[in-house]
A and B are shown apart, each in its own frame.
Chain A
Amino acid sequence: MQRCLDLLTSGLTPEGILQQLINGVTLGSVYALIALGYSMVYGVLELINFAHGDVFMIGTFVVLGVTGQFGLTGRSSLALVIPVLLLAMIAAMALCAVLGFTIEKVAYRPLRRAPRLAPLISAIGVSFFLQAWIATYVSSRDHTLPNLLAGDIPLYGDVSLRYVQVLMLVSSVVMMVGLQQLVRRTSLGRGMRAVAQDREAAELMGVNMDRVISFTFIIGSALAGVAALLWMLNYSTNQSIGFIAGLKAFAAAVIGGIGNIPGAMLGGFLLGLAESLGAAYVSNVSCGIFSSAYEDVFAFAFLILMLVFRPSGIIRERVSQRA
């Protein structure tokens, strides 16, 4: 018993907790960006686009390719790094958008009237195809970028916030706000909301459904391209990261309230925090029974609990009332 109490108090330092919060928010900002894509597609089509995570994975390889082309190293000057990263982002967004558009057209559109399980199985097929394609024709190993944009802002004790983390946080919030405006204010956004509420009525009202759905995929996938760049600034990639990152992003979308844009964002941050804090303190809390090896369990457990107790998510969807 004493051992458990010792465990509880040891390791709980303010620096540690602050650092874990930063870790969680950093991870969460990427989850949030991927979650936006899931959430939009689900909102419009009611389909879990299982291949979305793999679109993101392809994005990370595009970023790798572009930065590799320019031979960036940790010592490259900012005057080179920033334009190259911008170019990498644009390339990743463009390629992901094309890919998302193609996937919808090839794998989902023919199944729009099929039974409900059909598009889901097709999505799994696409996901495996993309992973295997990268492993076969690009690389089946792990890759990282050099440490770009080094430098940090000291916060408290020896904890500091790195420029990259600030960038990740700011860009994901900017993307979310931009997307929110797009859905609220443009005619395309109106079309999306209409299709989400009632597909047939929207079509009767003159909304071009195919176009709206295509655009939903294009925008969601382009956001995954942005997420890919941010991810590569901090983490590593291989052909299978998309599946896991995608699952967690989906969990984030559900936690926040699927179909809801700020919800997806909130869910992403919450999930990132849950993972970081969970991995860090589960051992202290559980008296050493559980260890940080259970990190992945938290995301799934969070998702399951959420679905059981509050299936509509933290922010109830407003785009349309289903369920």
Chain B
Amino acid sequence: MIAAPLAILAAACGGGTSGGTSSACNPNAVSAVPASGGSALAAAATARLMAYKPSDPVLKIGFIGMLAGKYQNYGIDAKNGAQLAIDQINSAGGVQYQGTAYTFQLDPVDDNADATQGAQNAQKLVDDQVVAVIGGIFSTATIAESKIFNDNGIAQISPSATNPKYTAQGFKTAFRVIGNDTAQGKTDADFTVKTLGCKNVAILDDKSTYGQGLADSVNTSIPSAGGKIVAREHLDATASDFTAQLTTIKGKHPDAIFYGGYSAQAGPLTSQARKLGIKVPFVMGDGCEDSDYTKLAGADADGNFASNGGPAQNLMSGFTDFNTKFKAKYSQDVFQYAPQAFDAANIIMSAVKTAGGGGGDVKAARAAILGAVAATKDYKGLVQSYTFDSKGDITTSIFTVYKVESGNFKAVKAITTGP
């Protein structure tokens, strides 16, 4: 009851020069940050101006991802998920370790899904003395950021970057709480060939890091699932006319088409396919399992499939509770990766519980958290139970395939991979 307002106060200060228990906030800091607060940038800027006090029991957790722009929904959603986890812990009095109560503060920065800006803002998080990082959201930027975090020994948990390369660089600091493309591609291939019974599959991708990565993985998994690849085509993510590729695919008479890419193209792509008389279903990845797809494809969306990481929301124990709190706080539904980011934040905070927060020394805190995160075993999160392997991937991943029925995605099959 007492801790909650104090924690909020500390967050409002942005800098958190004071702990949840010691003296009141610096009034100057409060006036420097507009009362409307919330402005992450203002908070971060203030934070940088203030010296980090060694006795400070507030630990900063960084968040990096696209927070404004075309794919901002993904970033903001994940940020909100992480914030929710932190608020819950803080309002319960923080995390106790050897008599010290650590509370947490989220420090969000925007990487615009761009490698250069990602590296710059990763550096900003290092400056801000964060002890661990959640993010990035998109693979290319995440890989660029991972170098900076590795240099500084900061554990980085991505809620959504699925490119296998991210954890294959030999960095001890790179983790993710979602199955990678290899696992998802295998799932999609199995679903298409075995569950749907579509033996002849055409594969199309948008030549983006994400789209091609997933399509390549499906490409390798289809034959081992007993299917046959009848066509492999690419389109340009800036293009609007996909009929040339679709006509080629039509001539190969596939039973299903796998598309690796985002809903912005998948929607018009589906419509154009139907107009060309292609009636077979599309199977897609998590980049298409959203309301943009059903909106853009309109009536043509029905009967197509898209897979996504994690169990269906109604199968996550505690999701209803999570969503209620999420909605109460942000007045919107969970979009995509908020549950994964929520779990990532909790993994970091529970690492503090086992290994401590460095007792005021940021370097020690980073090292302690890194060690404890790497040792995460059977951590029961909202989405699933997590164990990291030596690379930083999760050993078991759950995927769910959804089908569009009258304009909405409905879960049709859950698939668990790994041991």
Contact = CB atoms under 8 A, between A and B. Distances in A.
Interface of A: 11, 13, 15-16, 19-20, 23-24, 26-27, 74, 140-144, 146-147, 158, 160, 162, 231, 234-238, 240-241, 244-245, 275-280, 291-293, 295-296
Contact of A293 (B69, B207, B292, B300): B207
A280 B241 CA distance: 12
Contacts of A140: 69-70
A160 B247 contact: no
List of 5 A-B pairs having minimum Cβ-Cβ separation, nearest first: A293-B234, A279-B244, A236-B268, A23-B243, A235-B240
Contacts of A278: 244
Nearest to A236: B268
28 contacts: A11-B248, A16-B248, A19-B243, A19-B250, A20-B247, A23-B244, A140-B69, A143-B296, A144-B271, A144-B297, A144-B298, A146-B299, A147-B300, A160-B277, A234-B272, A236-B264, A236-B296, A237-B240, A244-B239, A276-B244, A279-B244, A279-B245, A280-B245, A291-B232, A291-B233, A293-B207, A295-B239, A296-B238
Interface in B87-128: none
B380 interface: no
B277 A74 contact: no
Contacts of B271: 144, 147
Given A144-B296, A295-B235, A295-B239, A158 B244 contact: no
Given A142-B292, A142-B296, A293-B234, A20 B244 contact: yes
A244 B238 contact: yes
Contact of A291 (B234, B238, B240): B234
A231 B239 CA distance: 13
Interface of A is mostly: helix
Interface residues on chain B, size class: 35 or more
Interface in B270-310: 271-272, 274-277, 292, 296-300
Contacts of A241: 240
Given A19-B247, A142-B268, A292-B235, A147 B299 contact: yes
B303 to A, nearest CB: 15
B55 to A, nearest CB: 45
Interface in B56-97: 69-70
B244 A147 contact: no
Contact of B275 (A13, A143, A162): A162
B290 to A, nearest CB: 11
B83 to A, nearest CB: 24
A292 B271 CA distance: 20
Interface centre among A19, A240, A275 (most CB of B within 10 A): A19
Contact of B299 (A74, A141, A293): A74
Contacts of B250: 16, 19
A276 B244 CA distance: 5
B247 A23 contact: yes
A234 B245 CA distance: 16
A11 B244 CA distance: 12
B418 interface: no
Contacts of B236: 293, 295-296
Contact of B264 (A74, A147, A238): A238
A322 B292 CA distance: 50
A142 B264 contact: yes
